[in-house]
Structure 1
Amino acid sequence: MSEPQPVVGELTSAAVIVVATIEPGGEDAVREALADFGDLEDSVGFGSPLAELSCVTAFGSDAWDRLFGGPKPPELHPFVPLDGPRHAAPATPGDLLLHVRSENQGLCFELAHRLLDRLGPAVTVVDETHGFRYYDRRDLLGFVDGTANPHGRGALDAALIGPEDPFAGGSYVIVQKYLHDLAAWNAVSVSEQEHVIGRSKLENIEMSDEAKPGDSHVAVNTVIGEDGEEVDIMRFNMPFGELKSGEFGTYFMAYAASAATTEQMLRAMFLGTADAPRGDRILDFSTALTGGLFFAPPVEFLDDPPQPGVSAAELLPITADAVPVASPSDGSLRIGSLKASMS
C-alpha cells in the first residue's frame, strides 16, 4: 500500500483546521506547493519530536478536477446538504483542507501559518478553527468524545482504502463545524443529557440497548454492515470556543475508507430513522454551520501529483514499442514514456 497521510492516531491536545478555496488561476501554484509541505512539517516539528506534529492535506471534488489529471476517487463529490424535519446540514465552500494537529498548540499555529504562506494568494481561507483538549477528552457538552474510535489494525481498516484499490492509502474526510447552545444544554438535567447522548456522563459507559433511546446520538450514529458487524470511522473531533463572541462548539472530523459510511450517519442524524423519525436529539442543542467532503491522497501523490489534462489511460505504464512515431508537423513533444502517478 502507498504511504498514507497521518489519518490514524490518538487524539492530540491541539489542532488547527483550515478550509480554503483556490483562486481562479491559482491551480499551478497550489500543485507546486504540495511537494514542499512535508519539508515544512519537518522543519517546524524537528526540535519537538514528542509534540507529534502532523498535517493531513485533502481536496474537495471541484478542486480535484481543477488540480489533477487521471482518475478521480469514486466517492469524492460535493458535500450533499441535508434538510431534515427539524434540522439542516449545510454544504459550504471548500477546495483545500489542512488538518494540523499536535500536543503543542504553538506548533500547530506555526505549521499552519507556514503552509498558508507557501500557498500565498493562490488560496483564500474561508474557515479557520483552533481546537483544544477539554478536561479528560470531553467535549464542551461534558461528555467524553472519541470513545468509539477503533485502534490498531481496526483503525487502519476503518480509515484507509485497502491495497486492492487504485487509491490505496487514501481516505475520505467529512468535516462539519457545530455550535452548541450551552445555555439550553445546561438547563437540562444530567439524566436527560445522558439519554440524549446514550452514555453516562461521569463514567462514560454506553447505555444498554434496552435503556438507550432510539434517537440518542450513540444509537443514531451506529452503522451495521452487511456482515452484521458495526462499521467504524476514525474521528478527530475537537472542542473550540471564543469567549468574546460567546460561540462554543465541536469541530467534527471523520476519516473513512468509504465516504458512504459517514454519509449514512449524517442522513440518520438529520433526516431521521425508523427509531428516530425526527433525527438525532443532540441536534436540538448543536447546530451545523459548515459541511464539506474531501479526499486525502497518499503521500506519494502529494509529492508528484498528476498534471491536469492527462487521461487515465495515459497514466498506465507503456513501452517504447507502444509509442507512436509523430511527424514533425503534428506538434508532438516526442515523449517516450509516462510516469504512473500512483503506486
Structure 2
Amino acid sequence: MPQATSALTIPAPAPAPARAPALASSSEAPAGTGGGKRRSRSEFAPLLRTIRDQGLLERRTGWYALGIGANLLALTAVVVGLVLFGHSWWSLLLAVPLAVLSARAAFFGHDAGHSQISADRDRNRLIQLLHANLLLGMSQEWWNDKHNRHHANPNHEEKDPDVAPDVLVFNQHQAVGRTGFNGWLVRHQAWLFFPLTTLEGLALKVYGFQALFSKDGPRQTGRERVIEGGLLFAHVAGYATLLLTTMSLGQAVVFALIHQMLLGLHLGMAFAPNHKGMEVPDMDGEPWGHLRRQVLTSRNIRGGAVTDWFLGGLNYQVEHHLFPSMPRPHLRLAQPAVRAHCRSLGIPYTETGFVDSYRQALGHLHEVGTPLRTA
C-alpha cells in the first residue's frame, strides 16, 4: 500500500522483528527472537535511554488532577445550566459544550487505560471507570481489550481490530465481494466517513453493553462485571433522568442527538488521521521491530496548544505508540528526540498539518473503494 505523503521522509532500511505490549509500561523495549531481537533492541534502546534520562516517563499526577478537576467542574456547570434553563429550547445550546467536555472525559479515560496518570493500577482503573463507564457509558474492559490489540499491532490486517472490515474497509482486497448497500458504502466511504462518525458516541455504548453480556467479551471476574454493568446502567439512568426532568421529551431527544453526534464527530476527528493510509505490515515478510512497527504505521499532526487540546495529545501519535505510558504533556517534549533518532536510522517519520492529515486519511479511503467504482 502506498504510504501517505510525509513532511519528513527518509528512505528506510529493511525492517526487523519484534513484539510490543500496548497498555503495558514502556520501561523496556519489546523484541523478537535471534538476530532480529538484537536489532530491535539496538534500534529502540538508545531512544529509550534518552527519554528516560530526560525524565519524560515520570508521571504528571498533578497536571492530570488539575485537568480532571477542571473538566468535572465544567460538566457540573453544564448540568446546573440545564436545570436553570428549564424547558427552554435555549438549553439545546448546552449540548455543544457537553460534547466537548465528554470528549475530554474520553481522553482522560484513554490516558488512565495506558497508566499515564498514576503508577498505581487500581487508581488508574478507578479513574477510567469514572470517565469511561459512568460519564460516557462506554465499557472500560471492552475498550482496553480492543485498544490493547491495536497498540500491539497497529495497521496489521489480521491483528488490529481498528482495521478489521466492518461498515468501512481499509484495504482494497477487503472491498472485494461487497455488493448492495455494503458495496455502496465502500464506494462512497470517503464522503461518508465524517457523517458516520456522528454515530460513534452511540456505538461506543452499544459495543460496551454487547461486550458485557457476551461470552466472547474480555475476561472479567464476576465482581468486575457487576461494577462495569452497574456503572453503565447508572450512566444511562442518570443521563435520561437529567434530560427528562429538565426539558420536554421532544427537547430531550433533540438534545441527546446533538450531544451524541457532536461527541462522535469530535472523537472521530481525533482518531481518524492517526493510522489510515500509513504503512501496513507485510504479513508474509519479516516482522517489524517495536520502533519500526509504531513509527511506520503512525502519523503525527503539527500544531500548537489548541491542536494538542482539541486532539487530546493524540496528534503525537508516533510518540504515544512508542511510549504508551508516557504522560500526555510529555509527548511534545519527546518529539525532538524521537524525530532525531528516526532520522539517524533512516526511518521515515511522518508529520503533517491538521487539514492535510484528513486529506490523506480520506484520500486513502477513497482509493480503497476504487475497485468497486470501476467494476
TM-score range, shorter chain: under 0.3
Q: What's the TM-score once normalised by structure 1's chain length?
A: 0.24
Larger helix fraction of residues: 2
Which of structures 1 and 2 has the larger relative contact order (alpha carbons within 8 angstroms, sep 6+)?
Answer: 2
Q: What's the TM-score once normalised by structure 2's chain length?
A: 0.23
